Structure formats: C-alpha cells, structure tokens
C-alpha cells in the first residue's frame, strides 16, 4: 500500500472512532490525551529526530504556551487562539536565545542544559504568584461552549482539535524533512563537520529547527490548558510529565520518523492511564519507573524504536516466505 | 611553472591547535592555479589539522590564509565552499541515509534550482559512471571505493577551483586506490587545483607535481615531487625504500 493511502485510511478511522464512544466518557479522554502527546512527540521530533539534539527541556515551551494564553485569557479576556500565537512567539524567542549557550553542547550536555532551562521556568512560575498563581497554578475561567474561547463541555470537540494539531504538526514535520532544511538537518545529524564543508550553516540550521519545534510545542501547551481547565507549574513545566514524556514517546516509537511519535503516544498514554486506574494512589511515582524501564528496554532491544522493530520483523517474514 | 602562474591558495606562518597546545607551528605553503600539490607526513604530524585549518574547522588558529586574494581567516567554515574550495575530510563522510543523488545535491544545495546543477551532475556521472547506475541507492550501502566516488562527486558539484583531499586512499583495496588515482588525475586535468594529504607517499608523489613534508607541525622540506621521491630521507622515512 502506498504511504498516503495508509495515512488516509488511518485518518478516516481516527475521525470516525469518537462517534462510537461516549462523548464525555473516559475512553475518549484517553484518546484525546494520546493525540495531544503524539503531537508533542512530533514537535520534539523536529529537533530530537531530525537534528538529533536530544532535548529534555521541551516543557519550557509547553509551559510558556499554557501560561501565556491562560494569563492573557484571565486578565484581558483574550481568545486562546490569539493567546496561542502569542505563546508560540514567546517560545520561539526563548528557543532562539537558548540556542546560543547550548549551540556547542553535545549529547548529555545539551540535554542537561535544556532541562535546566525548563526547571528555571518552573521555579519562576511557582514563585511569581501575582501573575502565575504560584504553586497553586491557574484555572481557565469556565465558559463553555465557545469555539472562540476554545471551551467545550463534551470531550469530542477537543478530540478533533487535538487530531487537527497532530495532523498539522506531522505535516510540518514531513515538509521539513523533505525541504532543503531537512536535507541540511540530516547532514548535520550524520556529521557536523562534513556538513559544514559542503556549505551547510549548521548554526543556522540548528536554530531554525529549535525555533519551529518550540513554537509548535507552545501551541500544544495552550491546547492542554484549555482541555484540562486547570494546571500548576509541575503539570506544564514538569520534567517527567512533559519533557521526558515527549522524548520517550518519540524515541520509543522511532525518532526521526513521522509515525514514531504516534506509535509511541498510543502505547504510553493508555498504558499510564491503565496503571493509574489499577494502582490509584499506590502507583504514585510508578510512571517515572515505567518510563525508565521502557527507555532501557528500547535501547537494549532496538535503539531505532518500535517502528524499526516492526519493519525488521515484516521484512524477515517476507524473506522467509519467499525462500 | 610555480613562478609564472598566480598563487591561488597562500598559507603564511599559520599556528593552530586544540585546547591549549598548538599542533601547527608556523606552517607556510602555496598552491598555484592549476597545480597539484601534496603534503606528506607521519601519523599525528598535523596534516588533517592543516587542511581543517584552511577550511576554518579549527577555531584556535592564527596566521594568514588567503584564497585568490580573499582572506579565509575572516570566514566561517560553511562559507568556504562558496569560493569553490571543496574539502573532502578524512574518513569519507558520505551521508549514509541519503541516496547517492541526494548526497551530490547537498554539495550543490546553494545552487538549488540553477540549471548549472544538471550540468555538474552530468559531469560527475561522466567521471564516475557507477554513481549514475546507483543514483537511487542509499549511500551507506555502497562499497568504500564507491563512497569515495560519492564524496569526490559531491565536491565536483561546487564551482570547484581547489580540491582539498585528506587521505582519500585510506582503507581502500589497492585496485580501488588505482581508480581513485585515475579520478584525481582526471579532475586535475579538467582544470582543478588540488591539495592532497596522504600517508600513501608513493601515491601522493606519483600524482602531484610538488610536495611538502610536514613533521611535528612544521614544514621541513618543500620540493618538486621528483626531488622528494629521490631524497634519501624521504625514501627512508616515508617510502620505506
Ligand atoms: N579534535 C581534536 N581535538 C584535540 N586534539 C586533536 C583533535 N584532532 C587532532 N588532534 C591532535 O592533533 C594532533 C595532530 O592530529 P592530525 O589529525 O592533524 O594529524 P594527522 O597528521 O592528520 O594524522 P593521521 O595521519 O593519523 O591522520 C594529534 O596529536 C591529535 O591528537
Ligand atoms: Mg589525518
């Protein structure tokens, strides 16, 4: 099957599924979250997968998106659609500035620097109480149903909004991958020096990827805030709930591929939900442990992710049949 | 000939190194237009560092480097290829997850839609017909010799004036080394100046017209290739004769 036929079939199926579900039920909520986090993994994939820069600080941009649009909504009644653009712009500037100190850092050092940056923002959000609500967090003023204010009683509209976000961000990912920026990113990923000597401005390429990824991540922060109605600093700036989760979703599924984060999110999010239901309060901290175990497992079994595991398996089966 | 043709690349009193210690100690050399020059030297003499300094890949460097009157020291690494200088680094870095053609395209990506692109691609394919057959194959699945052709082909996608080569024969089977040798001669005959670094001294001296001997970061000999070939010290230390 051609890839676009597969894509169209999956998309149609995704559009039909909610009609079979209770529109305010638990199942659709889990699926909506899975779509949101698939989109987050995809945004992360632009730096983590294409440029091979493993960021552990994407919560910084997610949180900037959530706080920016919500603060604008609470204080000025501004539509979250506009707040979303403001958040994206702020996140883009933050990513641009952050790229200078982190430019020369490789591997773990880059990951740690991005992580430190998001932690600084988390601490600021926790202490600047007059604006951010401090450690208690912010509540989105409740006024459903309004498309302009991005609020709905039913989960179903959110489902379609997250699906739309996933489609758009996946589209951006595919477009970048096949654009000249994508070629330059791939060259950079293979070997920075070899890329430079064929004329790739690796500095500029890294910054472009970081800025695009950050802006997209911030829009998801806004959508998350509107979906959950309430968040505190840990929920949007947290290392485990956002940064690590984004990275694991993409790496587990297959970083650098467009379906990787989608596979990853639809495995991890429902699994976490199931663990929460089964273990309730006794399971606190369990998702951290589960993330760690999954990461080690994937690195040991197939560092290129589940997608590679599947394609390898399929081609092995084919070979066996044909021989 | 070196006195009559203009100087293309001029390296004067260059020092370069990594964190703390210098690897090159006041190196000077010239490449004249149309010349084929080689630098020979033992392991860790600083040959790669010299080429990487010319390509602006070594941040800690000082001295004067000019190319056709342009001061290279004031440029960034990615600006160098625009002048027509192609550096083929040590270790044949093809981009393995790209096809042969995508690899070549990357060498010319500054041209984008320029019709010149097609012309140069055809030129590269004429020189390396095997690349044409394999234009859609992943570069990572090619043999070592074919990968060397890809990086040479990629260099030819620039408006190539000076080709800088770092040990192109390293790790190749003797028969493939002969192919590389022939390709270099053809590229040179087509009008490109070449600066070649090699540990395979007999190969280097058989293709170049002039050579330098680099020892511990200093040029200790500068002669015609023939004179170097006949030099008793070179014969003993680098040719094993
Ligand atoms: N990126 C680097 N960082 C630190 N030191 C380096 C780096 N690259 C090279 N060196 C050091 O500089 C010295 C010269 O290395 P260089 O690679 O220039 O030698 P070479 O003549 O090309 O050797 P070879 O024939 O093995 O390629 C060596 O002592 C090496 O350890
Ligand atoms: Mg070397």
- Which pLDDT tens digit goes with each residue over B51-83? 999 999 999 999 999 999 999 999 999 999 989
A236: phi then psi, degrees, rounded to nearest 5: -110, -25
Q: Are B49 and B125 in contact (CB under 8 A)?
A: no
User: Is pLDDT at B109 greater than 90 in this prediction?
Assistant: no
Which chain B residues are closer than 8 Å to A181 by Cβ?
Answer: none
Residue B2 lies in a domain: no
Residue B62 lies in a domain: yes
pLDDT at B31: 97
pLDDT at B5: 79
Q: Which domain does B118 fall in, by range?
A: 7-237
Residue A251 CA: distances (Å) to CA of A105, A114, A184, A255, B87: 20, 17, 21, 5, 34
Residue B132 lies in a domain: yes
DSSP 8-state secondary structure symbol assigned to residue B209: S
Q: Say if residue A21 is exposed, middle or buried (CB neighbours under 10 Å; 0-12, 13-18, 19+).
A: middle
* Domain at B105, CATH number: 3.40.50.300
pLDDT at A191: 86
pLDDT at A321: 72
Listed residue (A126, A80, A49) closest to A224, CA to CA: A80
Residue B1 lies in a domain: no
Report how far ligand 1's centroid is from the alpha carbon of A205 (Å). 27
Q: A114: pLDDT confidence band, cut at 50, 70 and 90?
A: very high
pLDDT at A122: 97
What is the rounded average pLDDT of the residues A155-182?
95
Distance from CA of B79 to the nearest CA of A (A): 6
Distance from CA of A210 to the nearest CA of B (A): 20
DSSP 8-state secondary structure symbol assigned to residue B81: G
pLDDT at A283: 59
Nearest ligand, measured from the Cα of B43: 1
What is the rounded average pLDDT of the residues A231-253?
94
pLDDT at A76: 96
Which chain B residues are closer than 8 Å to A193 by Cβ?
Answer: 52, 57, 77, 89, 93
Residue B79 lies in a domain: yes
The pLDDT tens digits for B153-186 are 998 888 889 999 999 988 888 888 888 889 999 9
Where along chain A do its domains lie? Answer: 2-238
Residue B50 lies in a domain: yes
Q: B3: pLDDT confidence band, cut at 50, 70 and 90?
A: low
Mutate to test the interface with B, among A186, A198, A257, A304 (most CBs of B within 10 A): A198
Round to whole Å and give the CA distance between A77 and A72: 7
The pLDDT tens digits for A285-314 are 666 777 778 777 877 787 788 888 888 888
Which chain A residues are closer than 8 Å to B76 by Cβ?
Answer: 201
Residue B83 lies in a domain: yes
Total structural domains in chain B?
1
pLDDT at A284: 62
The alpha carbon of residue A217 and the mean position of all alpha carbons in its chain are separated, in whole angstroms, by 6
User: For the whole model, what pTM was predicted?
Assistant: 0.87
């Amino acid at each position: 099957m051609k890839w676009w036929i597969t894509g169209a079939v999956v998309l149609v199926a995704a559009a039909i599924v909610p009609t079979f579900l209770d529109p305010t039920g638990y199942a659709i909520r889990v699926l909506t979250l899975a779509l949101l986090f698939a989109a987050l993994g995809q945004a992360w994939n632009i730096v983590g997968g294409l440029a091979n820069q493993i960021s552990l600080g994407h919560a910084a941009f997610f949180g900037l998106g959530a706080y920016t649009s919500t603060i604008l909504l609470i204080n000025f009644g501004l539509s979250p659609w506009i707040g979303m653009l403001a958040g994206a712009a702020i996140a883009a500037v933050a990513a641009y500035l952050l790229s200078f100190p982190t430019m020369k850092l490789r591997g773990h050092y880059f990951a740690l620097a991005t992580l430190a940056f998001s932690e600084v923002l988390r601490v600021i959000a926790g202490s600047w109480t007059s604006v951010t609500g401090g450690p208690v967090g912010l509540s989105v003023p409740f006024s459903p149903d309004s498309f302009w204010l991005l609020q709905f009683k039913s989960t179903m509209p959110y489902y379609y909004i997250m699906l739309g976000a996933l489609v758009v961000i996946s589209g951006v990912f595919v477009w970048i991958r096949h654009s000249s920026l994508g070629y330059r990113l791939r060259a950079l990923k293979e070997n920075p020096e070899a890329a430079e000597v064929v004329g790739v401005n690796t500095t500029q390429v890294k910054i472009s990827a970081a800025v695009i990824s950050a802006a997209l991540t911030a829009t998801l922060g806004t959508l998350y805030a509107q979906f959950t109605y309430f968040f505190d600093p840990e929920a949007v700036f947290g290392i485990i709930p956002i940064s690590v989760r984004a990275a694991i979703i993409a790496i587990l599924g297959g970083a650098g591929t467009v379906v990787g984060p989608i596979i990853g999110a639809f495995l991890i999010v429902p699994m976490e939900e199931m663990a929460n239901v089964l273990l309730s309060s006794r399971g606190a901290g369990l998702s951290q442990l589960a993330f760690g175990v999954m990461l080690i497992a994937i690195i040991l079994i197939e560092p290129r992710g589940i997608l590679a595991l599947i394609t390898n398996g399929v081609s092995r089966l084919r070979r066996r049949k044909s021989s | 000939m070196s006195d009559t043709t203009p100087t293309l690349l001029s390296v004067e009193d260059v020092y370069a190194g990594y964190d703390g210690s210098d690897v090159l100690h006041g190196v000077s050399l010239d490449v004249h237009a149309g010349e084929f020059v080689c630098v020979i030297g033992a392991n860790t003499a600083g040959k790669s560092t010299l080429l990487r300094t010319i390509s602006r890949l070594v941040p800690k460097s000082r001295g004067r480097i000019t190319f056709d009157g342009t001061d290279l020291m004031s440029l960034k690494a990615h600006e160098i290829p625009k002048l027509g200088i192609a550096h083929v680094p040590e270790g044949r870095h093809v981009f393995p997850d790209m096809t042969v053609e995508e690899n070549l395209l990357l060498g010319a990506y500054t041209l984008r839609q320029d019709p010149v692109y097609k012309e140069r691609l055809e030129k590269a394919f004429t020189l390396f017909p095997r690349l044409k057959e394999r234009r859609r194959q992943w570069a990572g699945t090619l043999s070592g010799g074919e990968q060397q052709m890809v990086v040479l082909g990629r260099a030819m996608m620039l408006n190539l004036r000076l080709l800088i080569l770092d040990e192109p024969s390293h790790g190749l089977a003797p028969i493939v080394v002969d192919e590389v040798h022939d390709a270099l001669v053809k590229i040179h005959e087509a009008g490109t100046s070449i600066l070649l670094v090699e540990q395979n001294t007999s190969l280097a001296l058989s293709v170049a017209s002039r050579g330098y001997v680099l020892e511990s970061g200093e040029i200790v000999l500068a002669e015609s290739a023939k004179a170097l070939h006949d030099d008793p010290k070179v014969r003993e230390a680098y040719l094993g004769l």
